[in-house]
Amino acid sequence: MLIWNSIPTSDQTSADVVLGQPTFSTNTYNNGGQSRASLSSPNGVFSDGPRLFVSDAGNRRILVWSRIPTSNGQPATGVMGQTSFSTSLGGAVSPFNFQFSSNYNGLVLGGSTVWVNDSFRHRELGFLLGLGATLTYSRESRTYEPGPFAVTATFTGALAAPPKLALAGGAAGPSANDVTSTDMTATLDPLIWTYSRTLATGDYGTFAITLEAESDGNPLANQPAGNTFTVEAPPDTTAPTVALTYGKNAAAVGAGPLVITATFSEALATTPTLAIAAQGTVNDQTAADMTATADSKVWTFTKAIASGGDGAATVKDAAGNENAAATNATFTIDTTAPTVALTYSKAAAAVGAGNLTITATFSETLATTPKLAIEGQDTANDQATANMTATASAKVWTFTKAIASGGDGAATV
């Protein structure tokens, strides 16, 4: 049996597929032994669209291919007239077996019925074909993301009315992609019908297509193979953002443990890592895993800050989709105590009664308000620890003390 995939337009056009033989150059009956791929004196052929029927007279059977064969020697998927692919018995006269001559056509198609010329028994047998259908998707993988979706149904017989299609499935709860029974759209071919829609977001999983159709009073016998498809969430290509906070004042981090907290904009797929590049090497940190918290978006890292290596330090991080640069990714290490010089609004060697302004000039800007205390010869001019007052310069602070009469002698600030 030779198959041309298109109608030949010139003499001696080579066939595309051969059935009953492994190659175009062999011609033995039941080549390789009787099987689902062998033929002996085939004498008739027809197709109802997707299926192919070949009358195999020498083996008293009809072989059925559920899809038009595409390769040489392709095995049949079904058999009529025999109980198996390996038998060729005539058997007793019955409604299902036949014995026809190889001299003339063994079968014809009439509507949705296969008629077999059971010539040696002087009768015609009619086998009613159940209506069948095949599905073709706009994506061969049958895997979709939210967006366009299309499917084509090819039926084995002309339909009495437009076929209907329903979609159901996906995740429990959402039903945005479910479709109740709806008419499909006709094409120029009365056997071919289409359906298309836009798949929505939020409803993901496996969906099943259910068809309803009727031809010559015969309803669709079975749902077609491959009547499921999958809708997946689109990939997340947006990098997470991250903000860093510090367990100490980031402008002046002293020696000791420093807890760095990273708050991401979304839950992470992998453990984030953190690295620190400081002014010297003493406080550098090679990339290391952060520690999870109860919140999947919040991670921490504790760094022991050593004395020395003062200056700006930069935190680097990475996780899953490479995240955007962290906000507040720089802190300053300052493990050197500031120096301070005091001056007095009166001669320090002889401070009389009245207001005395003490000015403290520090060697660097302070992170907190400095405090001052005074211890005199007696309690009259003592001063408990109290905050100093800021000036226009962040390094200069003042304190005014009302000096009382009495209690003469040295006083320590």
The string of pLDDT tens digits covering residues 9-25 is: 999 999 999 999 999 99
402: three-class secondary structure by DSSP: strand
CATH topology of domain 2-128: Thrombin, subunit H (2.40.10)
In one letter, which amino acid is 196?
S
Query: Structure tokens of 364?
Result: 């660097």
The string of pLDDT tens digits covering residues 21-68 is: 999 999 999 998 999 999 998 988 888 766 889 988 889 888 988 778
User: Secondary structure of the chain: what % helix, strand, coil (to 5)?
Assistant: 0, 45, 55
Cα 299 to chain centroid, rounded: 25
Cα 251 to chain centroid, rounded: 42
What's the rounded Cα separation, in Å, for the pair 119 and 39?
19
Q: What is the pTM of this model?
A: 0.48
User: How deeply is 129 buried, as exposed, middle or buried, from its count of CB atoms within 10 A (0-12, 13-18, 19+)?
Assistant: buried
Same fold, 133-231 and 242-333: yes
Per the document, the length of the chain is 413
What's the rounded Cα separation, in Å, for the pair 183 and 243?
53
Task: Please report the pLDDT score of residue 320 as a whole number.
Answer: 44
Contacts of 123 (CB under 8 A, 6+ apart): none
Residue written as token pair 């760095």: 260
119: three-class secondary structure by DSSP: helix
What's the rounded Cα separation, in Å, for the pair 118 and 367?
106
Question: What separation in angstroms does the CA of 176 have from each of 163, 179, 207, 385, 412?
Answer: 22, 8, 12, 69, 80
In one letter, which amino acid is 119?
S
Q: Could you tell me whether strands 143-144 and 228-231 are parallel, antiparallel, or unpaired per DSSP bridges?
A: parallel
The string of pLDDT tens digits covering residues 128-184 is: 777 888 899 999 999 999 999 999 999 887 888 999 999 999 988 889 999 999 999
CB 190 within 8 A of CB 233: no
User: How deeply is 88 buried, as exposed, middle or buried, from its count of CB atoms within 10 A (0-12, 13-18, 19+)?
Assistant: middle
Domain boundaries, the chain: 2-128, 133-231, 242-333, 340-403
Please provide the average confidence, as pLDDT, over all residues in the chain.
Answer: 87
Radius of gyration of the chain from Cα atoms?
A: 45
| CATH class for the region spanning 133-231 | mainly beta
Question: What separation in angstroms does the CA of 348 have from each of 207, 343, 352, 410?
Answer: 91, 8, 10, 10
Query: Structure tokens of 46?
Result: 């027809």
Question: Does CATH place domain 242-333 in 3.40.30?
Answer: no
**Beta carbons within 10 angstroms of residue 116's beta carbon:** 22
Q: Is 221 left (phi over 0), alpha (psi -120 to 50) or beta?
A: alpha
Tens-level pLDDT at each residue, the chain (413 residues): 999 999 999 999 999 999 999 999 999 999 989 999 999 989 888 887 668 899 888 898 889 887 789 999 999 988 888 889 998 887 777 777 777 766 666 666 666 678 888 778 778 787 877 788 889 999 999 999 999 999 999 988 788 899 999 999 998 888 999 999 999 999 998 889 999 999 999 999 999 999 999 987 788 878 988 999 999 998 877 778 888 999 988 887 888 999 999 999 888 888 989 888 888 788 888 989 999 999 999 999 999 988 876 777 676 555 444 556 677 777 777 777 889 999 999 998 888 899 999 999 999 888 789 999 999 888 888 999 999 999 999 899 999 999 988 778 888 98
